[in-house]
Structure 1
């Protein structure tokens, strides 16, 4: 028997259930003044391949928090402006964002963009939290208002050198792009490798890998975006180089693997967060579920970095309770010790770097990233 119209008592029950559901939804909906975070990133341009997934990951987590009632009934509002990966627009955007009286600036992309924007907050109580910028200076005393999620390029250089040394590949060539982030990474790499006594046999443009091979290196560090790095690596392999090839985190682990396919076998890329497909971690499973619900496709390591940054910020906001202010945000972050957020450990105490985690991802012959 098929029912097309509920009985009167059935309609009453349905109405009550609908009212209850509506009441629950209203109770969960944030009603207080928003907690504003300001962000300037490359939503367009070459940097968007890394910065856009970061922004999407952060927004996914903040949306999750807001759907559950926000922070004490207050929604988290992420105001994002596009700077196309250029310093001047980033500084102009920062001025606009500061006019909105944000609690903090959040998740900027690019070392030059951070440098250009920082002058607007250096003498204020505004923090810049979790920029996607590997410049080592942001982790030092000159930038006390910057709190980062992961280590800088100097530590990435150490990880590369140690791995190459275990393979006996001590003669290193550096190939770098001409974009501002690659040049910032190059400076850190040179300073660190020289300080460690590395045998640097060549430094030159990513567009001329043949010149690097003329110096007979045993390993090559390619510093550039995924497209430029992939082109150089394909040429290195085509000319018969079979030694280890390395990439920094800004090279784009999963993006580089996609670009290279089978030509990526043996390429090692540094990352400062866990693998984005490591479902053993609760934080990764949460991201995967939220990305699927938002129809954003398979998360990559940059989306995970944004999600993690938002998760750490959310934890700080919750710890502040009702007294949310810039001064208390700094104090709360500085007091975070040995915090496990779904498998990602955070320890700001005594430092402004949340995590010292660095992992090396190996691209295999099928264009997949492995440990």
Structure 2
């Protein structure tokens, strides 16, 4: 099922505005119905806490630019039921304290929902606050699980599930071998490592060991030298894009590339990573990505939207992710209707099944028991500093 993003029911919005004369308060819709926090007769207020500065600001700002291009396009077409989407973006510098402060600002503002943002550190710090305030938190660029939280909706598959899928797919594609891993420290790291060990064994490989590191580590040489002693066929790298690039660059410097492939999650299937490491390393990458690449015809709508509404913005995997998730959000707003509330929005999301609201993403499904939208990712390698798509990769839920 696909809905037009560019012309979101503007005729209906005009009729509603004419019938009721506009001017409704923040507690009523333009047709007299009750609406939720952050919704007025002419505005849908949302908030984004994002790393506009700091260690991951490059990819983070691109995700936001992609999303804002969609919002600008929708607003130029009349908005959603006559309401323009206004996104207040506050910088968290990829730090927990700033993200928490931003979340409290959004709660007080108030916003209909907190949308997007980049990375695990801000996300895991604000989830408890938003849950307590019953504020929906939609589609951050991260894959840590938040079981039982009815207000958090993720788009990309969980890191642990990506981990199992990429290990199994790599061994199937490149043959059985040994696996070593470097993983960034998060709340879900123990489960992710357990899943990696299980997936390796199930695929017929041999698990050699792993290192767990703090995000922001600057000297990866000791970790590389320890890994090098094991002579792995595959090295799984799972942390921030900057940390992944530092580790992999140190691998090249120490002559420690794996015999077969460098494996990763969605952070490796990006131009920012590919361009940050030596060619011999980028050519060894095998990783899943949550959206199609800019050269894929499925990305054409988002590419055109970004070029028109955010001229000068580099169109990358992260930019397209922001565009795609914003399109799904707009679709949900449209489906929820003029009586826009937080509970109504959550109900709409949980009713989505195999929805093709954003061609650049794979089909999206949510339910009351599943708040992770994608169950398939694109499969990428790299050649000559260009991402090469090799079809799709199913991402199954893995029990731990």
Q: What is the TM-score when the length of structure 1 is the normalising length?
A: 0.83
Counterparts of 2:269 and 2:319, CA distance in 1? 12
The 5-angstrom pairing of residues 1-371 of structure 1 reads 32-135=41-144, 137-138=145-146, 140-141=147-148, 143-166=149-172, 167-177=174-184, 183=186, 186-196=189-199, 198=201, 199-204=206-211, 206-207=220-221, 208-237=223-252, 239=255, 241=257, 242-251=259-268, 253-260=270-277, 262-263=279-280, 264-279=282-297, 281=298, 284-293=299-308, 294-343=310-359, 344=361, 345-350=363-368, 351-364=370-383, 366-371=384-389
Counterparts of 2:109 and 2:378, CA distance in 1? 38
Unmatched tracts of structure 1, length 5 or more: 1-26
CA shift, 1:146, in A, is 0.4
Please give the per-residue CA displacement for 1:167-191, whole angstroms capped at 9, x wherever unaligned: 23431111245xxxx5457444302
Bigger CA drift: 206-215 or 188-197? 188-197
* Cα separation, partners in 2 of 1:237 and 1:261, compared to 1, 3 Å: closer
Counterparts of 1:253 and 1:349, CA distance in 2? 29
Counterparts of 1:184 and 1:53, CA distance in 2? 26
Please give the per-residue CA displacement for 1:33-78, whole angstroms capped at 9, x wherever unaligned: 3101111110100121221111111100000000000011110011
Counterparts of 1:96 and 1:164, CA distance in 2? 44
Please give the per-residue CA displacement for 1:189-238, whole angstroms capped at 9, x wherever unaligned: 30212333543313225443122010121110122333433343344345
Report how many aligned residue pairs link the two structures. Answer: 334
Counterparts of 2:56 and 2:249, CA distance in 1? 22
Equivalent position SS for 2:89: strand
Equivalent position SS for 2:277: helix
Unmatched tracts of structure 2, length 5 or more: 1-13, 23-40, 214-219, 390-400
Counterparts of 1:226 and 1:289, CA distance in 2? 26
Point out the structure with the larger helix share.
Answer: 1
